[in-house]
Structure 1
Amino acid sequence: MQGRLTIAEDMPLRLHRQVRLRWDKARGLWLLLAPEKILVPDETCVAVLQELDGGPLSGAIDRLAEKYAAPRDVIAGDVIEVLQDLANRGYLLSEEAIPNG
């Protein structure tokens, strides 16, 4: 996995290629699955991850602010906090840092 990312709104982000967000029907909850790791994300984390589309993070922030009718600056702070935690754990990649091929 790559080195530490500092999350910013202009970053195109996605989950690391070995990480999957999956709905566990039997348990009725979302799981973030990585090799030899399972994380049970909270509702905020799931909402944020579902908005990641490989484009700049600012687009996901805009969509979440509209969806929850919340001030954009509040949503941006929450989103960056959630994603920075995941990046620190190695769950995220920036599309800018991914080599071609």
Structure 2
Amino acid sequence: MMTPLSPSDTLVRPTWARLKRCDVRGVWVLLVPEQVLYPCPTTVEVLERLATPTRFGDVLAALAQEYDAPIDVIEEDLGPLVSGLVEQGYVRRVHA
């Protein structure tokens, strides 16, 4: 069961989870030990923003402003996605 995220949670993509653009295939890849993952555009957007420790609420606010959408709608869409990334270890909660 996924643990819900709080806007005050600080998240970061671990340094071993490298997000790269594959120009040959024209897609983004997430390079993790012994795996290559092909994240969807929404996941890429989130992973790019979590290259450094960032509060989840700041990610939500930035995307709400960028897409001119209510923050609660953004949180409803991204909450499960980011929680899944945390559960899988591709994103970590950190103490800031």
TM-score, normalised to structure 1, is 0.82
Give the Cα separation in 2 of the matches to 1:28 and 1:69: 28
Pairwise CA distance, 1:86: 1.0
1:82 partnered with 2:72: no
Which stretches in structure 1 are left out of the alignment for 5+ residues?
none
Distance 1:5 1:94, change over 3 A: farther
Identity %: 32
4+ residue runs over 4 A deviation: none
TM-score, normalised on structure 2? 0.86
Match for residue 46 of structure 2 among 32, 45, 48: 48
Name the count of aligned residue pairs: 94
Between the aligned partners of 1:27 and 1:12, the Cα distance in structure 2 is: 33
Distance (whole Å) between structure 1 residues aligned to residue 70 and residue 3 of structure 2: 25
1:21 aligns with: 19
CA distance in 2, matches of 1:8, 1:20: 25
The alpha-carbon deviation at position 96 of structure 1 amounts to 1.4
Distance 1:87 1:74, change over 3 A: same
8 Å contact 2:4–2:79 — kept in the other structure?
no
- Which deviates more from structure 2 when the two are superposed, residues 48-57 or residues 20-29? 48-57
Structure 2, unaligned stretches of length 5 or more?
Answer: none
Distance 2:93 2:64 in 1: 22
Residue 63 (str. 1) matches residue 62 (str. 2): yes
